[in-house]
Protein backbone atom coordinates (compact mmCIF):
# COMPACT_ATOMS: atom_id res chain seq x y z
CA UNK A 1 0.00 0.00 0.00
CA UNK A 2 0.95 3.63 -0.47
CA UNK A 3 1.53 5.68 2.67
CA UNK A 4 0.06 9.15 3.14
CA UNK A 5 3.53 10.71 2.93
CA UNK A 6 4.30 8.82 -0.29
CA UNK A 7 0.95 9.79 -1.80
CA UNK A 8 1.46 13.47 -1.01
CA UNK A 9 4.97 13.34 -2.46
CA UNK A 10 3.65 11.78 -5.67
CA UNK A 11 0.81 14.30 -5.98
CA UNK A 12 2.54 17.53 -4.91
CA UNK A 13 6.26 16.89 -4.54
CA UNK A 14 7.33 17.96 -8.04
CA UNK A 15 5.06 21.01 -8.17
CA UNK A 16 5.13 24.54 -6.80
CA UNK A 17 2.85 23.21 -4.03
CA UNK A 18 5.48 20.97 -2.43
CA UNK A 19 5.28 23.08 0.72
CA UNK A 20 1.55 22.29 0.87
CA UNK A 21 2.49 18.62 0.97
CA UNK A 22 4.74 19.22 3.96
CA UNK A 23 1.92 21.08 5.73
CA UNK A 24 -0.52 18.23 5.05
CA UNK A 25 1.91 15.79 6.62
CA UNK A 26 1.83 17.98 9.74
CA UNK A 27 -1.97 17.79 9.71
CA UNK A 28 -1.67 14.01 9.55
CA UNK A 29 0.63 14.01 12.59
CA UNK A 30 -1.77 16.28 14.48
CA UNK A 31 -4.66 13.90 13.75
CA UNK A 32 -2.65 10.93 15.03
CA UNK A 33 -1.97 12.80 18.26
CA UNK A 34 -5.61 13.83 18.66
CA UNK A 35 -6.76 10.27 18.05
CA UNK A 36 -4.35 9.04 20.71
CA UNK A 37 -5.57 11.68 23.18
CA UNK A 38 -9.16 10.55 22.60
CA UNK A 39 -8.26 6.88 23.05
CA UNK A 40 -6.50 7.59 26.35
CA UNK A 41 -8.91 10.20 27.74
CA UNK A 42 -10.40 7.84 30.32
CA UNK A 43 -6.92 7.21 31.75
CA UNK A 44 -5.55 10.76 31.60
CA UNK A 45 -8.47 12.70 33.09
CA UNK A 46 -9.26 14.33 29.73
CA UNK A 47 -12.89 13.19 29.67
CA UNK A 48 -15.77 15.49 30.49
CA UNK A 49 -16.51 19.20 30.28
CA UNK A 50 -14.05 22.01 31.00
CA UNK A 51 -14.87 25.21 32.87
CA UNK A 52 -14.79 27.35 29.72
CA UNK A 53 -17.01 28.19 26.73
CA UNK A 54 -15.91 28.72 23.13
CA UNK A 55 -16.68 31.80 21.03
CA UNK A 56 -20.07 30.34 20.09
CA UNK A 57 -21.04 30.10 23.77
CA UNK A 58 -20.84 26.30 23.74
CA UNK A 59 -19.39 24.45 26.72
CA UNK A 60 -15.96 23.14 25.78
CA UNK A 61 -15.00 19.56 26.41
CA UNK A 62 -11.54 19.07 27.84
CA UNK A 63 -10.69 17.27 24.62
CA UNK A 64 -11.80 20.31 22.57
CA UNK A 65 -9.03 22.32 24.19
CA UNK A 66 -6.47 19.53 23.99
CA UNK A 67 -7.27 18.90 20.31
CA UNK A 68 -7.00 22.60 19.51
CA UNK A 69 -3.60 22.83 21.20
CA UNK A 70 -2.38 19.75 19.33
CA UNK A 71 -3.57 21.07 15.96
CA UNK A 72 -1.79 24.38 16.52
CA UNK A 73 1.31 22.75 17.96
CA UNK A 74 1.83 20.42 15.01
CA UNK A 75 1.13 22.91 12.21
CA UNK A 76 2.76 26.15 13.38
CA UNK A 77 6.41 25.18 13.50
CA UNK A 78 7.19 23.98 9.96
CA UNK A 79 7.32 27.39 8.31
CA UNK A 80 4.31 26.74 6.03
CA UNK A 81 1.46 28.40 7.97
CA UNK A 82 0.79 32.13 8.01
CA UNK A 83 -2.07 32.17 10.56
CA UNK A 84 -4.97 30.05 11.84
CA UNK A 85 -8.60 30.27 12.85
CA UNK A 86 -10.33 27.67 14.97
CA UNK A 87 -13.78 26.96 16.35
CA UNK A 88 -12.20 27.04 19.81
CA UNK A 89 -10.57 30.49 19.47
CA UNK A 90 -12.41 33.80 19.31
CA UNK A 91 -9.75 35.63 17.30
CA UNK A 92 -7.27 34.65 14.62
CA UNK A 93 -4.20 32.85 15.95
CA UNK A 94 -0.96 34.57 14.96
CA UNK A 95 2.23 32.55 14.99
CA UNK A 96 4.83 33.42 17.65
CA UNK A 97 7.29 35.97 16.22
CA UNK A 98 10.23 33.59 16.51
CA UNK A 99 8.61 31.12 14.08
CA UNK A 100 8.94 31.36 10.32
CA UNK A 101 5.72 32.22 8.50
CA UNK A 102 4.58 30.44 5.35
CA UNK A 103 1.95 31.22 2.73
CA UNK A 104 -1.01 29.15 3.94
CA UNK A 105 -3.99 30.08 6.09
CA UNK A 106 -5.41 27.24 8.18
CA UNK A 107 -9.00 26.95 9.40
CA UNK A 108 -10.08 23.99 11.50
CA UNK A 109 -12.58 22.45 13.84
CA UNK A 110 -10.18 20.43 15.99
CA UNK A 111 -12.82 18.10 17.45
CA UNK A 112 -16.10 17.95 15.58
CA UNK A 113 -18.95 16.22 17.42
CA UNK A 114 -17.18 16.41 20.76
CA UNK A 115 -20.50 15.94 22.59
CA UNK A 116 -20.18 12.29 21.51
CA UNK A 117 -16.81 11.70 23.18
CA UNK A 118 -18.10 10.70 26.60
CA UNK A 119 -20.49 8.13 25.07
CA UNK A 120 -17.76 6.66 22.81
CA UNK A 121 -19.34 7.54 19.47
CA UNK A 122 -17.28 8.58 16.44
CA UNK A 123 -15.92 12.13 16.34
CA UNK A 124 -13.48 13.87 14.01
CA UNK A 125 -11.32 16.82 13.01
CA UNK A 126 -11.93 19.07 9.98
CA UNK A 127 -9.43 21.35 8.27
CA UNK A 128 -9.27 23.78 5.36
CA UNK A 129 -6.26 25.42 3.69
CA UNK A 130 -6.25 28.75 1.84
CA UNK A 131 -3.48 30.84 0.29
CA UNK A 132 -2.65 34.07 2.09
CA UNK A 133 -3.55 36.91 -0.32
CA UNK A 134 -0.47 38.97 0.59
CA UNK A 135 2.56 37.02 1.72
CA UNK A 136 4.69 40.13 2.24
CA UNK A 137 2.89 41.17 5.44
CA UNK A 138 1.53 39.54 8.55
CA UNK A 139 -1.80 37.80 8.05
CA UNK A 140 -5.04 39.47 9.12
CA UNK A 141 -8.41 38.00 10.03
CA UNK A 142 -9.97 39.42 6.86
CA UNK A 143 -7.51 37.37 4.78
CA UNK A 144 -9.57 34.30 5.69
CA UNK A 145 -12.73 35.77 4.15
CA UNK A 146 -12.35 33.95 0.85
CA UNK A 147 -15.04 31.84 -0.85
CA UNK A 148 -14.63 28.09 -0.57
CA UNK A 149 -13.70 27.84 -4.23
CA UNK A 150 -10.31 29.30 -3.21
CA UNK A 151 -9.40 26.37 -0.97
CA UNK A 152 -6.21 24.58 -1.98
CA UNK A 153 -6.81 21.58 0.28
CA UNK A 154 -9.35 20.25 2.76
CA UNK A 155 -9.71 17.13 4.82
CA UNK A 156 -11.03 15.44 7.89
CA UNK A 157 -9.97 12.76 10.32
CA UNK A 158 -12.51 10.25 11.61
CA UNK A 159 -11.81 8.71 15.03
CA UNK A 160 -13.99 5.61 14.94
CA UNK A 161 -13.42 1.84 14.98
CA UNK A 162 -10.38 2.75 12.89
CA UNK A 163 -8.80 6.19 12.48
CA UNK A 164 -9.09 7.53 8.94
CA UNK A 165 -7.84 10.64 7.16
CA UNK A 166 -9.75 11.81 4.08
CA UNK A 167 -8.17 14.45 1.84
CA UNK A 168 -8.66 16.50 -1.29
CA UNK A 169 -6.22 18.90 -2.93
CA UNK A 170 -8.62 19.52 -5.81
CA UNK A 171 -7.67 16.29 -7.57
CA UNK A 172 -10.36 13.96 -6.27
CA UNK A 173 -10.81 12.50 -2.80
CA UNK A 174 -8.69 9.80 -1.18
CA UNK A 175 -9.01 8.00 2.14
CA UNK A 176 -6.20 6.75 4.37
CA UNK A 177 -6.48 4.37 7.33
CA UNK A 178 -4.09 4.50 10.28
CA UNK A 179 -2.12 1.27 10.64
CA UNK A 180 -1.71 0.94 14.40
CA UNK A 181 1.20 -1.44 13.93
CA UNK A 182 3.34 1.04 11.98
CA UNK A 183 1.80 4.39 12.96
CA UNK A 184 1.35 5.29 9.29
CA UNK A 185 -1.73 6.39 7.38
CA UNK A 186 -2.06 4.07 4.38
CA UNK A 187 -4.09 4.63 1.20
CA UNK A 188 -7.07 2.28 1.58
CA UNK A 189 -9.85 4.19 -0.21
CA UNK A 190 -8.53 5.73 -3.46
CA UNK A 191 -10.73 7.89 -5.66
CA UNK A 192 -13.71 8.04 -3.30
CA UNK A 193 -17.00 8.95 -4.98
CA UNK A 194 -20.61 9.60 -4.01
CA UNK A 195 -23.45 7.84 -5.78
CA UNK A 196 -25.80 10.40 -7.38
CA UNK A 197 -28.90 8.49 -6.20
CA UNK A 198 -29.70 7.64 -2.58
CA UNK A 199 -32.44 6.46 -0.27
CA UNK A 200 -30.80 7.67 2.92
CA UNK A 201 -30.81 11.04 4.67
CA UNK A 202 -29.39 12.41 7.92
CA UNK A 203 -31.14 15.21 9.80
CA UNK A 204 -32.05 16.08 13.39
CA UNK A 205 -35.77 15.39 13.13
CA UNK A 206 -36.47 16.88 16.58
CA UNK A 207 -36.24 20.31 14.91
CA UNK A 208 -38.86 19.51 12.26
CA UNK A 209 -41.39 22.02 13.57
CA UNK A 210 -38.85 24.83 13.04
CA UNK A 211 -37.81 23.99 9.45
CA UNK A 212 -38.64 26.11 6.46
CA UNK A 213 -41.28 24.79 4.06
CA UNK A 214 -38.95 23.36 1.34
CA UNK A 215 -37.09 21.22 3.89
CA UNK A 216 -40.32 20.02 5.48
CA UNK A 217 -41.63 19.08 2.04
CA UNK A 218 -38.50 17.07 1.19
CA UNK A 219 -38.46 15.16 4.49
CA UNK A 220 -42.22 14.54 4.41
CA UNK A 221 -41.84 12.95 0.98
CA UNK A 222 -38.99 10.74 2.19
CA UNK A 223 -40.94 9.64 5.27
CA UNK A 224 -44.00 8.81 3.15
CA UNK A 225 -42.03 5.90 1.67
CA UNK A 226 -43.29 3.72 -1.16
CA UNK A 227 -46.82 5.01 -0.72
CA UNK A 228 -45.69 8.63 -1.14
CA UNK A 229 -44.72 10.74 -4.17
CA UNK A 230 -41.15 9.37 -4.23
CA UNK A 231 -42.29 5.77 -4.51
CA UNK A 232 -39.35 4.52 -2.41
CA UNK A 233 -38.62 3.78 1.23
CA UNK A 234 -35.89 5.95 2.78
CA UNK A 235 -33.70 5.39 5.84
CA UNK A 236 -32.94 8.17 8.33
CA UNK A 237 -29.64 8.45 10.20
CA UNK A 238 -28.27 10.96 12.75
CA UNK A 239 -24.92 10.74 14.57
CA UNK A 240 -24.56 14.41 15.65
CA UNK A 241 -21.04 14.44 14.21
CA UNK A 242 -20.63 16.08 10.80
CA UNK A 243 -17.49 14.06 10.09
CA UNK A 244 -19.29 10.77 10.70
CA UNK A 245 -22.28 11.87 8.61
CA UNK A 246 -20.15 12.98 5.64
CA UNK A 247 -17.98 9.88 5.83
CA UNK A 248 -21.02 7.64 5.59
CA UNK A 249 -22.15 9.57 2.51
CA UNK A 250 -18.75 9.10 0.88
CA UNK A 251 -18.91 5.39 1.58
CA UNK A 252 -22.49 4.64 0.50
CA UNK A 253 -24.27 7.80 -0.60
CA UNK A 254 -26.87 9.85 1.20
CA UNK A 255 -27.77 13.40 2.17
CA UNK A 256 -26.74 15.35 5.27
CA UNK A 257 -28.89 18.31 6.23
CA UNK A 258 -28.46 20.97 8.90
CA UNK A 259 -30.86 23.56 7.48
CA UNK A 260 -31.77 27.01 8.58
CA UNK A 261 -34.77 27.08 10.90
CA UNK A 262 -37.18 29.63 12.31
CA UNK A 263 -36.09 29.64 15.97
CA UNK A 264 -33.78 32.61 15.39
CA UNK A 265 -34.43 34.28 12.02
CA UNK A 266 -31.25 36.34 12.42
CA UNK A 267 -29.09 33.19 12.24
CA UNK A 268 -28.61 31.76 8.74
CA UNK A 269 -27.67 28.34 10.12
CA UNK A 270 -25.83 26.35 12.77
CA UNK A 271 -22.61 25.14 11.17
CA UNK A 272 -19.60 27.37 10.62
CA UNK A 273 -18.73 28.29 7.04
CA UNK A 274 -14.93 28.52 7.08
CA UNK A 275 -13.98 25.39 8.98
CA UNK A 276 -17.00 23.09 8.64
CA UNK A 277 -19.20 23.86 5.62
CA UNK A 278 -16.46 24.90 3.16
CA UNK A 279 -14.01 22.03 3.66
CA UNK A 280 -16.79 19.41 3.70
CA UNK A 281 -18.40 20.95 0.60
CA UNK A 282 -15.03 20.88 -1.19
CA UNK A 283 -14.61 17.20 -0.35
CA UNK A 284 -18.19 16.31 -1.33
CA UNK A 285 -18.00 18.15 -4.66
CA UNK A 286 -14.62 16.59 -5.47
CA UNK A 287 -16.26 13.19 -4.89
CA UNK A 288 -19.06 13.97 -7.36
CA UNK A 289 -21.66 15.19 -4.87
CA UNK A 290 -23.18 18.62 -4.36
CA UNK A 291 -23.58 21.12 -1.53
CA UNK A 292 -26.01 23.98 -0.99
CA UNK A 293 -27.60 26.29 1.56
CA UNK A 294 -30.86 25.59 -0.24
CA UNK A 295 -30.57 28.71 -2.36
CA UNK A 296 -26.83 28.99 -3.11
CA UNK A 297 -23.81 26.79 -3.71
CA UNK A 298 -21.87 26.87 -0.43
CA UNK A 299 -18.44 27.16 -2.05
CA UNK A 300 -19.48 30.40 -3.76
CA UNK A 301 -20.52 32.18 -0.56
CA UNK A 302 -18.49 35.28 0.30
CA UNK A 303 -17.67 35.05 4.04
CA UNK A 304 -18.13 38.14 6.19
CA UNK A 305 -16.77 36.80 9.50
CA UNK A 306 -14.37 34.05 10.53
CA UNK A 307 -17.08 32.40 12.65
CA UNK A 308 -19.93 32.91 10.19
CA UNK A 309 -22.72 30.33 10.35
CA UNK A 310 -24.53 28.84 7.39
CA UNK A 311 -27.23 26.33 6.47
CA UNK A 312 -25.75 23.11 5.05
CA UNK A 313 -27.26 20.45 2.81
CA UNK A 314 -24.84 18.17 0.99
CA UNK A 315 -24.44 14.70 -0.47
CA UNK A 316 -25.78 12.74 -3.43
CA UNK A 317 -26.13 15.11 -6.36
CA UNK A 318 -29.63 14.24 -7.57
CA UNK A 319 -31.15 14.64 -4.09
CA UNK A 320 -29.41 17.99 -3.54
CA UNK A 321 -30.73 19.17 -6.90
CA UNK A 322 -34.23 18.20 -5.79
CA UNK A 323 -33.83 20.11 -2.51
CA UNK A 324 -32.63 23.20 -4.41
CA UNK A 325 -35.61 22.97 -6.76
CA UNK A 326 -37.98 22.94 -3.75
CA UNK A 327 -36.38 26.17 -2.49
CA UNK A 328 -37.07 27.79 -5.88
CA UNK A 329 -40.80 27.05 -5.91
Asked if residue 50 has pLDDT above 80, the reply is no
pTM: predicted TM-score of the whole model, two decimal places: 0.96
> Which residues define the annotated binding site?
87, 109, 111-115, 204, 270, 276
Would you state the CATH architecture of domain 200-328?
A: 3-Layer(aba) Sandwich (3.40)
Question: Which superfamily, per CATH, for 4-189?
Answer: Fructose-1,6-Bisphosphatase, subunit A, domain 1 (3.30.540.10)
Residue 69, SS3 per DSSP: helix
pLDDT digits (tens, 9 = 90+) for 82-92: 999 999 999 99
> Which residues define the annotated binding site for Mg(2+)?
87, 109, 111-112, 276
Asked if residue 59 has pLDDT above 90, the reply is no
Least confident of 10-14, 91-95, 176-180, 251-255: 10-14
Residue 88: Cβ-neighbour burial (10 angstroms; 0-12, 13-18, 19+): buried
Q: What is the mean pLDDT of the chain?
A: 95
> Which residues define the annotated binding site for substrate?
112-115, 204, 270
Residue 216, SS3 per DSSP: helix
When comparing pLDDT for 244 and 56, which is higher?
A: 244
Question: What pLDDT does residue 60 have?
Answer: 84
Domain boundary assignment for the chain:
4-189, 200-328
Amino acid sequence: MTSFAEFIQQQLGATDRADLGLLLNQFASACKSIGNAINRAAFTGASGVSNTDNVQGEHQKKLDIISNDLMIGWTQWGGHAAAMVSEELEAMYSLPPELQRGRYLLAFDPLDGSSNVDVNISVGSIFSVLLAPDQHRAARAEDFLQPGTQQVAAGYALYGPSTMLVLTTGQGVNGFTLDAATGEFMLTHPAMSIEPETREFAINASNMRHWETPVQRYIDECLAGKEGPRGNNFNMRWVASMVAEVHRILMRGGVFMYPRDNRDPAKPGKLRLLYEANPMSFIVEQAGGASTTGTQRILELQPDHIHQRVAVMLGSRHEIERIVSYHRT
